[in-house]
Structure 1
Amino acid sequence: MLVSLLRTVLMYGVILLAVRLLGKRQISQLQASELVATLLLSELAVLPIQEEGLPLWRGLLPMCALVLCELGASWGMLKSGRFRKLVCGSPMVVIQRGKVLQGQMRRLRMTTEDLFEQLRQNNVFYLEDVAWAIIETNGLMSVIRKPEEDPVTPKQLGLKVPFPGLEVAVISDGELSRRSLALCGKEEAWVRRRLEERGLSERQVFLMTVRTDGKYRILPKEPRA
């Protein structure tokens, strides 16, 4: 039992390291090669955990080879458009100049329900508002609205809107982030002065955000019931 527990912890660490090496892409944005690598990694990790008589290297070696294959494939896609097209395919247009391309939808095995679901995820609720819709190689849809349906921007109105700056969380659940402080150009002493003005300590703060223009917001922790 103890051996299985130790192997589980070790495999968890190895998979975590492998995923970090493969990149930070979200699960919903995985390309085909990345999805295959992720699935195979999980399958390979199970073998040393279940089979206590199996040497660890018998599981670790294929996992290392798999990570190297995916890194090699990523490098190949970066250097060659043809190789990327072979591995990931090409984006496919499903709505062109307001017309739904039924043939393309059949090739993608995409139902009308799928079409409307992805449009809604792009904050589009009426088919007549869409000029172009493209299914990207990761399966997500990119939508371009018709010009007359696009929201009016301040630039189109000739207005100058001040940029509020980047907002970052400098304190999260009582813990100060020095990395976030560097991003907003503030120091710990500045944060402590703001907390003292509110009569709070770091541990009493649930969330403190600071923008690069100097504005900040503090949310104290609520008392536990």
Structure 2
Amino acid sequence: MIISLIRTFLLYLVIIFAVRLMGKRQISELQTSELVVTLLISDIASIPMQNTGQPLVSGLVPIFTLVAIEIILSVMMLKSGRFRKVICGRPIVVINDGKIQQSELRRLRMTTEDLFEDLRQNSIVSISDVAYAIVETNGKLSVVKKPGKDSVTPDMLQLVVPDTGIETVVISDGVISETSAKLCKKSVAWVEGVLKGKNLTADQVFLMTANTAGDFQIIKKEGKTQ
């Protein structure tokens, strides 16, 4: 039992390391090759977890082989657009200049219900608002609205919007993050100074965000008093 727990923990760490090597992506954003490698790694890792009689290295070698293959393929795709197209395919336009491309939908085996579901997830309630819709190589739908249907931006109104910089979480559940503070060009001393001005201590704060301009927001822990 102890051996199984140790093997499972070691394989868990190895898989985390392997995924970190391949890069940060959400499952929905995985390219075809990345998804295949991820599925294979999960299957391979389950074998030495369940069979304690099998050497642990028999699971580690295939995992790192797959990771190496994926990294090599990624480099090759960076160097060659043609090779990337072979592995990942190409984006497909399913709405072109406001017109649904029925042949492309059939090619993708994508129903009109699938199309409308993806449009709703892009905050589109009427297909007449869409100028272009493109199914990307990772399967997600990118949408470009018609000029008259797009949201008004400050640039269109010739307004100058102040730049407040990046906003980060500088305190999470009572713990000050020095890294997040530096990211928004602030220091731990600055955070502590803000708290002192509000008669608060870090352990009384559930969440505190701050941005480069010095704006901040504090949410106290429930039940905590000043």
Q: TM-score range by the shorter chain?
A: over 0.9
Q: Distance in 1 between matches of 2:163 and 2:185?
A: 16
> Which segments of 5 or more consecutive residues in structure 1 lack a partner in the other structure?
none
Aligned to 2:158: 158
Aligned to 2:72: 72
Q: Considering only aligned residues, what root-mean-square deviation do their CA atoms show, in Å? A: 1.1
Task: Give 1:44's aligned amino acid.
Answer: I
Q: Aligned runs of 1:158-197 on 2, under 5 Å?
A: 158-197=158-197
Q: Distance in 2 between matches of 1:163 and 1:116?
A: 36
Q: Distance in 2 between matches of 1:117 and 1:131?
A: 17
How far does the alpha carbon of each residue in 1:92-148 deviate from its partner, in whole angstroms, 9 at most, with x for none?
000001100111001101011110111111111100000100000000011111111
Equivalent pairs counted in the alignment come to 224
Aligned to 2:12: 12
**Percent of residue pairs identical:** 56
1:199 Cα deviation after fit: 2.1
Aligned to 1:116: 116
- Of stretches 164-173 and 130-139 in structure 1, the one that deviates more from structure 2 is 164-173
Q: Aligned runs of 1:14-53 on 2, under 5 Å?
A: 14-53=14-53
Q: Distance in 2 between matches of 1:66 and 1:202?
A: 45
How far does the alpha carbon of each residue in 1:65-108 deviate from its partner, in whole angstroms, 9 at most, with x for none?
00000001101111111110000000000000110011100110
1:212 Cα deviation after fit: 0.5
Q: Distance in 1 between matches of 2:123 and 2:141?
A: 12
TM-score by length of 2: 0.97
Aligned to 2:126: 126
Q: Distance in 2 between matches of 1:104 and 1:62?
A: 38
Aligned to 1:81: 81
1:222 aligns with 2:222: yes
TM-score by length of 1: 0.97
